[in-house]
Chain A
């Protein structure tokens, strides 16, 4: 596996990532429904107060909440040069 891949749960807030692979078959279909599929662009927006889990992602026009464990099943690759501005 390419060493540049990171788990979505370890992604940095405000940076864009491209989804490379969904590793858990059991939740892959549901994740696809919500917009996490190969080549879709995602960004970590917020972490839940206190426990920093679940995480809130921007995917397309939607905001999707995933638990850290769910986000761990998604491999992503950082997209250089694209930042999120508030």
Chain B
């Protein structure tokens, strides 16, 4: 078995080739110790099996971005386990010159490689003629024209890779030698001159302009239509996330409700039943319920990216977002976090600068996710009079205010975090806008499902363990035989609630609220049902229960305390899944802890102020 690694510039069609070669025999992981995604697949050709590694897209090897370091380490044979024997450099044939610099570098380092001239069909249609024999002679390597999306030329490519893998390895230079090379003052100039020379030799007829991209850009980047379309698309994305994912979320919830009922029927009452129904089933359901949002969001993102629009959206939004302290691409995580912070945080990967990506991940959960809505509507319905104010309904205004506070706080905190976090790489836009291309939906669907599975695998365990912990806290110890109060009031959750009550008194919270807050760390909307349980609301159905709860809240708690609770829910360090996904995405415990601390302080201070002002 031998290893092949794919290298190439961003948008060279490297991923298309990877997908075409490996089909479904692929998996996604992270490179050890960092959060750069690593895609590995396998393919069989004439009874030999190859492992294929998709390296991050890079322009050259000299700038020390994380992606470039990963790729360079592979080419310098520094990775210990799966060294690649042959490299395939994927080149966009409509833009060959740009790839030649990287090709020269790989050649210099001493690796065996093949040049795969991708998108040869488009290039030829646009009049490009290229002397592949001369190109092959220049680099002393095979040159194979391919069309990755249509599977053309792949056999020839693998054949030459196989032949090359059987030849003796060359001497690969050391990191030290490489560093010495690039430090020479004439290094870049001589490489650039060399690419010009090669181009003059191998290109016999040049390309005509790509009129399709030109025409579409006239429209999609138009000063008026372009903006209208952009906002329509963002709104559409948001709607699709909310409305499109909803039935699937409903299905998952119904399935687990059904399984719960089944378990209740067949397992005798007691701790074991509670463990299965309220612990295990609720925990697993609580993980899977995120899948529709994650998969939907990534279907949208990958489609826009594949088509070539994502960069253009960033181009149009960059100025505005940078004034607010974040890059243009941060719109996607911030907007989708209004549905749920979990997919929002995951989508922050599209941001190139690591520090800005981190800041976006840390502030995204402040935006109003859909799990806050049941809590908001409950308290607003109970406490806010149904008056009109300047023509607007007061309850609606309060809800709007909560949304506004969420997003404004996210920007303010981002601004503050920015001044504390050292920005290791320069914050720049500097990006290429690729030509428009027809999205390949089989690849998009596969990649989106992989994202979902990766979430279950990497974040699932943490979420499950924490939700079991919460289950134990509300279940143990058992209520006494002749208990007059709801069972939860005798549990550890109530003990925690009572212990912390003094701390929360300046916000008007009593032990019943602090107790109900404990299970809400699993998911915010749980507060509604846990408050019902703590306050022993008795009702035949859910609707009546909420009515009863509303009346109880109105009677038992002060207006100021409930406002403080609303404010608490804007900022509170929640939920456990947010912590789990932050841990997964940053590959460290530091960031989830930082998130927990800053939101806790913020939630406490803000609700404290609210209560003191209104009481």
Contacts and interface: CB of A to CB of B under 8 A. Distances in A.
Interface of A: 26-27, 29-35, 37-38, 46, 48-51, 53-54, 56, 60-67, 70, 86
A33 B217 CA distance: 24
B188 interface: yes
A64 B428 CA distance: 12
Contacts of B318: 48, 53-54, 65, 67
B81 to A, nearest CB: 29
B428 A46 contact: no
A61 B434 CA distance: 10
B430 A30 contact: yes
A65 B431 contact: yes
5 contacts: A32-B192, A60-B97, A64-B432, A66-B429, A66-B430
B538 interface: no
Query: SS class of chain B's interface: helix, strand, loop or mixed?
Result: helix
A65 B97 contact: no
Contacts of B192: 32, 37
Nearest to B435: A63
B324 interface: no
Contacts of A46: 217, 221
B590 to A, nearest CB: 27
B32 interface: no
Contact of A31 (B227, B319, B430): B430
B94 A61 contact: yes
A46 to B, nearest CB: 6
B316 A48 contact: yes
A29 B188 CA distance: 9
Contacts of B222: 49
Contacts of A65: 311, 315, 318, 429-433
A46 B166 CA distance: 50
B124 to A, nearest CB: 15
B433 A60 contact: no
A32 B182 CA distance: 14
B62 interface: yes
A54 B432 contact: no
A34 B430 contact: yes
B429 A70 contact: yes
B223 A61 contact: no
Contact of B63 (A29, A38, A48, A51): A29
B31 to A, nearest CB: 21
Contacts of A29: 62-63, 188
Nearest to B317: A48
B432 A63 contact: yes
A30 B95 contact: no
A46 B428 CA distance: 19
B262 interface: no
B433 A48 contact: no
Given A65-B432, A70-B430, 15 more contacts: A27-B430, A33-B60, A35-B98, A37-B188, A48-B318, A48-B319, A49-B226, A49-B316, A50-B319, A60-B95, A62-B98, A64-B430, A65-B429, A66-B429, A67-B428
